[in-house]
Structures are given as C-alpha cells and as structure tokens.
Structure 1
C-alpha cells in the first residue's frame, strides 16, 4: 500500500512541478510584453509632452502660425506610436497563444 501511495505522490509532485514551470514560462513572456508596453508608454508620453509644448508655445507666444501644425503633428505622432505599440504587443501575444 505504501508503494502505491508513494507512486501517487510522485506523480502529483511531477504535476505540480510541471505547472510551476508553465507558470514561470508565462511570467517571463508577460514580462517581455510589459517591457515593450512600458517602453511604448514612456516614448509616446515624451513625444506627446513635446508636441503639446511646441503647440502651446507656437500658438500663444510666437507669431508663426504656420508652425502650429508641427505641434499638432507631433501630438498625432505620439498617439500613433502608442497605438501601434499596443497593437504589436496584442498581436504578438495572440500569435504565441495560437502556436501553443
């Protein structure tokens, strides 16, 4: 009886170790997604702040109204960078889920 019990516990231990390994692998994949999202967030935020500063400076301080478009374009570029980053992370995650 003790032999069967020991074999059962070994099987359960192997199963628990397997599940832990799967969880660790998923965590490392999620860390890479989080790193990419953080990079996109900081780059997009920096470009957004630069665009807002350019727009406000040109609109309120200088008389060069033709340069206002550069500020607006920078803000739109920041939004585009952020959305593309989120899209790429989401599509990469979906591709890896489909492969498994």
Structure 2
C-alpha cells in the first residue's frame, strides 16, 4: 500500500514569484512596468499585482514573462505552487489531521 505524507509547513513562507519577477525587471532588464506590460500584452495593473505579490502567477503570465526576459515559465509556476501550498497548509493545519484516511485498493 502506498503511503502519502503531508509535511508541516516551514515557519517561513516561500517567496512569491512576483518578487523575483520584479527584481528581474528592475535590476536586470530595467524595464518600467508599463513598458513590460505593453510588450507582454497584459494590463499594467494586472502585471503590477503579480509583481507586488497580490496576484498569483498564472501559466499565461509565466509564459508571457518568460518570453519577455528569456526566462523559464516552469520556474515561476513552481515558485507559485510552493507559495500557494505553504499558505494552504498553514490555513488547513487544524483541519487536515481530522480527515479520515481512505484505504487504497490493491
């Protein structure tokens, strides 16, 4: 029978990928948000929300940003998944232990 484990979240949340994307824009490619948004085909407020860590990096946004800076969309999505999972585990920390496990059929 397979065993699945839910680990407890660390004390510190993984960084939101928007913080990395903001650093790339500001320090490496030195593009204003409005210019980057226009080139990516997204609204400035939508891009700003991601860069500020207020909105999630979607697959669409990750692909657009990767195309802009020749980056890796998979990295941005992986960072977002780790960030989201940490927050979900923290939110559900009192609920998850009470869920009765199902037996896996052989």
TM tier, shorter chain?
A: 0.3 to 0.5
Normalised to the residue count of structure 1, the TM-score between the two structures is 0.35
Question: By percentage of residues, which structure has more helix?
Answer: 1
Higher Rg? 1
